[in-house]
Homo-oligomer: A and B are copies of this chain.
Amino acid sequence: MNSVQNNSVATTGSEKRRAQRIDQVLDAASDCFVEFGFHGAGMAKIAKRAGMSVGHIYHYFESKEAIIAAIVDRESDAAAERFAELESIPKEELVHVMAERARDMVESKADAFQSALNLEILAESQRNPQIACILHRQDEKVRGKFKSIIADKLGLPEADARTEVILSLFGGLATRIVRHPEIEREMLIPLLKQIMRQILQDHAKD
Protein backbone atom coordinates (compact mmCIF):
# COMPACT_ATOMS: atom_id res chain seq x y z
CA MET A 1 0.00 0.00 0.00
CA ASN A 2 2.88 2.23 0.72
CA SER A 3 6.27 1.58 -0.68
CA VAL A 4 7.66 4.60 -2.42
CA GLN A 5 10.72 5.58 -0.48
CA ASN A 6 14.21 4.83 -1.43
CA ASN A 7 16.06 7.43 0.53
CA SER A 8 19.26 5.45 0.27
CA VAL A 9 22.16 7.35 -1.19
CA ALA A 10 23.70 3.91 -1.49
CA THR A 11 25.86 3.01 -4.43
CA THR A 12 26.99 -0.48 -3.61
CA GLY A 13 24.63 -3.17 -4.81
CA SER A 14 24.64 -4.74 -1.38
CA GLU A 15 23.68 -1.49 0.24
CA LYS A 16 20.93 -1.02 -2.26
CA ARG A 17 19.60 -4.43 -1.44
CA ARG A 18 19.82 -3.59 2.22
CA ALA A 19 17.76 -0.46 1.72
CA GLN A 20 15.21 -2.44 -0.24
CA ARG A 21 14.87 -4.98 2.54
CA ILE A 22 14.47 -2.25 5.10
CA ASP A 23 11.71 -0.70 3.07
CA GLN A 24 10.03 -4.08 2.81
CA VAL A 25 9.94 -4.25 6.56
CA LEU A 26 8.76 -0.70 6.95
CA ASP A 27 5.97 -1.16 4.42
CA ALA A 28 4.83 -4.39 5.97
CA ALA A 29 4.94 -2.88 9.42
CA SER A 30 2.97 0.19 8.34
CA ASP A 31 0.26 -2.03 6.94
CA CYS A 32 0.12 -4.13 10.06
CA PHE A 33 0.17 -1.14 12.37
CA VAL A 34 -2.77 0.40 10.56
CA GLU A 35 -4.66 -2.87 10.65
CA PHE A 36 -3.89 -4.00 14.16
CA GLY A 37 -2.26 -1.10 15.96
CA PHE A 38 1.29 -0.91 17.24
CA HIS A 39 0.72 -3.41 19.97
CA GLY A 40 -1.60 -5.72 18.05
CA ALA A 41 0.81 -6.27 15.21
CA GLY A 42 3.17 -9.02 16.24
CA MET A 43 6.61 -9.41 14.76
CA ALA A 44 5.45 -12.67 13.24
CA LYS A 45 2.74 -10.98 11.24
CA ILE A 46 5.08 -8.24 10.12
CA ALA A 47 7.71 -10.75 9.09
CA LYS A 48 5.25 -12.76 7.07
CA ARG A 49 3.95 -9.72 5.25
CA ALA A 50 7.50 -8.54 4.63
CA GLY A 51 8.39 -11.90 3.16
CA MET A 52 11.16 -12.34 5.62
CA SER A 53 11.87 -14.39 8.70
CA VAL A 54 11.25 -12.97 12.13
CA GLY A 55 14.85 -13.30 13.11
CA HIS A 56 16.11 -11.53 10.04
CA ILE A 57 14.22 -8.38 10.79
CA TYR A 58 16.56 -7.98 13.74
CA HIS A 59 19.47 -7.63 11.34
CA TYR A 60 17.97 -4.36 10.24
CA PHE A 61 16.22 -3.11 13.35
CA GLU A 62 17.33 -3.32 16.92
CA SER A 63 13.82 -3.74 18.22
CA LYS A 64 10.17 -3.30 17.41
CA GLU A 65 10.41 0.15 18.91
CA ALA A 66 13.06 0.97 16.34
CA ILE A 67 10.72 -0.04 13.55
CA ILE A 68 8.05 2.23 14.96
CA ALA A 69 10.53 5.06 15.21
CA ALA A 70 11.66 4.52 11.63
CA ILE A 71 8.10 4.57 10.40
CA VAL A 72 7.30 7.71 12.30
CA ASP A 73 10.39 9.27 10.83
CA ARG A 74 9.48 8.29 7.31
CA GLU A 75 5.86 9.27 7.71
CA SER A 76 6.48 12.64 9.26
CA ASP A 77 9.18 13.36 6.70
CA ALA A 78 6.62 12.87 4.01
CA ALA A 79 4.17 15.14 5.77
CA ALA A 80 6.80 17.81 6.25
CA GLU A 81 7.80 17.69 2.62
CA ARG A 82 4.30 18.29 1.52
CA PHE A 83 4.23 21.51 3.45
CA ALA A 84 7.69 22.42 2.29
CA GLU A 85 6.51 22.63 -1.29
CA LEU A 86 4.59 25.72 -0.33
CA GLU A 87 7.81 27.72 -0.02
CA SER A 88 8.29 27.92 -3.74
CA ILE A 89 4.80 29.12 -4.50
CA PRO A 90 4.56 32.79 -5.50
CA LYS A 91 2.74 35.06 -3.14
CA GLU A 92 -0.35 35.71 -5.22
CA GLU A 93 -1.11 32.06 -5.72
CA LEU A 94 -0.57 31.02 -2.15
CA VAL A 95 -4.08 31.43 -0.85
CA HIS A 96 -5.37 29.63 -3.86
CA VAL A 97 -2.87 26.76 -3.53
CA MET A 98 -3.57 26.34 0.16
CA ALA A 99 -7.25 26.17 -0.57
CA GLU A 100 -6.61 23.55 -3.20
CA ARG A 101 -4.53 21.71 -0.66
CA ALA A 102 -7.53 21.61 1.58
CA ARG A 103 -9.59 20.24 -1.30
CA ASP A 104 -7.02 17.51 -1.92
CA MET A 105 -7.00 16.47 1.69
CA VAL A 106 -10.73 16.35 1.79
CA GLU A 107 -11.12 14.52 -1.47
CA SER A 108 -8.34 12.01 -1.47
CA LYS A 109 -8.86 8.82 0.34
CA ALA A 110 -5.15 8.16 -0.02
CA ASP A 111 -4.67 9.94 3.22
CA ALA A 112 -6.93 7.55 5.03
CA PHE A 113 -4.07 5.14 5.39
CA GLN A 114 -1.76 7.91 6.42
CA SER A 115 -4.22 9.37 8.80
CA ALA A 116 -4.98 6.08 10.49
CA LEU A 117 -1.30 5.60 11.05
CA ASN A 118 -1.13 9.14 12.35
CA LEU A 119 -3.60 8.49 15.09
CA GLU A 120 -1.63 5.46 16.13
CA ILE A 121 1.51 7.54 16.13
CA LEU A 122 -0.01 10.40 18.07
CA ALA A 123 -1.32 8.04 20.71
CA GLU A 124 2.04 6.36 20.98
CA SER A 125 3.88 9.65 21.20
CA GLN A 126 2.14 10.38 24.45
CA ARG A 127 4.15 7.78 26.29
CA ASN A 128 7.09 7.13 24.06
CA PRO A 129 9.50 10.04 24.44
CA GLN A 130 11.51 9.00 21.40
CA ILE A 131 8.44 9.18 19.20
CA ALA A 132 7.40 12.41 20.82
CA CYS A 133 10.82 13.84 20.02
CA ILE A 134 10.76 12.86 16.36
CA LEU A 135 7.31 14.31 15.97
CA HIS A 136 8.29 17.45 17.72
CA ARG A 137 11.33 17.99 15.59
CA GLN A 138 9.35 17.58 12.40
CA ASP A 139 6.62 19.82 13.63
CA GLU A 140 9.16 22.45 14.44
CA LYS A 141 10.38 22.33 10.89
CA VAL A 142 6.92 22.62 9.41
CA ARG A 143 5.91 25.35 11.75
CA GLY A 144 9.06 27.31 11.00
CA LYS A 145 8.57 27.22 7.27
CA PHE A 146 4.97 28.11 7.57
CA LYS A 147 5.61 31.06 9.81
CA SER A 148 8.22 32.42 7.47
CA ILE A 149 5.82 32.12 4.55
CA ILE A 150 3.15 33.97 6.42
CA ALA A 151 5.39 36.57 7.95
CA ASP A 152 7.92 37.15 5.19
CA LYS A 153 6.19 36.27 1.97
CA LEU A 154 2.69 37.40 2.85
CA GLY A 155 3.84 40.02 5.31
CA LEU A 156 1.12 39.25 7.80
CA PRO A 157 1.28 39.86 11.55
CA GLU A 158 0.56 37.14 14.14
CA ALA A 159 2.22 34.51 12.02
CA ASP A 160 2.37 32.16 15.00
CA ALA A 161 -1.33 32.14 15.62
CA ARG A 162 -2.19 31.76 11.95
CA THR A 163 0.18 28.86 11.65
CA GLU A 164 -1.19 27.03 14.65
CA VAL A 165 -4.75 27.46 13.57
CA ILE A 166 -4.10 26.24 10.05
CA LEU A 167 -2.20 23.21 11.28
CA SER A 168 -4.96 22.48 13.76
CA LEU A 169 -7.61 22.74 11.11
CA PHE A 170 -5.78 20.46 8.70
CA GLY A 171 -5.05 17.93 11.39
CA GLY A 172 -8.62 17.95 12.63
CA LEU A 173 -10.01 17.60 9.15
CA ALA A 174 -7.86 14.61 8.34
CA THR A 175 -8.83 12.86 11.57
CA ARG A 176 -12.48 13.62 11.17
CA ILE A 177 -12.60 12.34 7.64
CA VAL A 178 -11.03 9.02 8.52
CA ARG A 179 -13.53 8.56 11.27
CA HIS A 180 -16.51 9.62 9.22
CA PRO A 181 -16.03 8.45 5.67
CA GLU A 182 -19.72 9.04 5.12
CA ILE A 183 -19.31 12.82 5.19
CA GLU A 184 -20.04 14.45 1.86
CA ARG A 185 -16.68 15.94 1.31
CA GLU A 186 -17.44 18.16 -1.64
CA MET A 187 -19.66 20.44 0.35
CA LEU A 188 -16.89 21.33 2.75
CA ILE A 189 -14.65 22.88 0.18
CA PRO A 190 -16.20 26.32 -0.31
CA LEU A 191 -16.29 26.96 3.40
CA LEU A 192 -12.74 25.75 3.84
CA LYS A 193 -11.49 28.01 1.05
CA GLN A 194 -13.19 30.92 2.67
CA ILE A 195 -11.53 30.21 5.99
CA MET A 196 -8.14 29.76 4.39
CA ARG A 197 -8.55 33.12 2.74
CA GLN A 198 -9.47 34.70 6.00
CA ILE A 199 -6.50 33.23 7.80
CA LEU A 200 -4.04 34.11 5.09
CA GLN A 201 -5.21 37.64 4.44
CA ASP A 202 -5.16 40.58 6.71
CA HIS A 203 -8.78 40.93 7.65
CA ALA A 204 -7.84 40.22 11.19
CA LYS A 205 -9.80 42.33 13.59
CA ASP A 206 -11.20 41.31 16.89
Residue-wise, chain A 124-146 has the 8 Å CB interface mask toward B (1 for contact) of 11110000000110010000000
Interface centre among A120, A161, A184, A206 (most CB of B within 10 A): A161
Stretch at the interface among A2-10, A13-21, A75-83, A186-194: A186-194
Interface centre among A120, A176, A204 (most CB of B within 10 A): A176
A64 CB → nearest B CB, Å = 13
Cα distance A183–B167 in the bound complex, in angstroms:
12
> Who on chain B is nearest to A36 by CB?
B127
Contact B36 A191 (CB under 8 A): no
Given contacts A173-B168, A187-B158, contact A180 B119 (CB under 8 A): no
Partner of A191, one of B161, B173, B190: B161
Is A172 located at the chain interface by the 8 A CB criterion? yes
Contact B162 A191 (CB under 8 A): yes
Interface residues of A in 14-71 (CB under 8 A from B): 34-37, 39-40
Interface of A is mostly: helix
> Who on chain B is nearest to A176 by CB?
B168
Contact A190 B206 (CB under 8 A): yes
Is A89 located at the chain interface by the 8 A CB criterion? no
Cα distance A7–B120 in the bound complex, in angstroms:
31
Residue-wise, chain A 98-140 has the 8 Å CB interface mask toward B (1 for contact) of 0000000000000000001001101111110000000110010
- Closest 6 interchain pairs by CB? A172-B172, A168-B172, A123-B123, A39-B39, A171-B172, A190-B206
17 A-B contacts (beta carbon < 8 Å): A37-B123, A39-B40, A40-B127, A119-B122, A122-B123, A122-B179, A135-B179, A158-B190, A161-B187, A162-B191, A165-B191, A169-B172, A171-B172, A171-B175, A193-B206, A194-B203, A198-B198
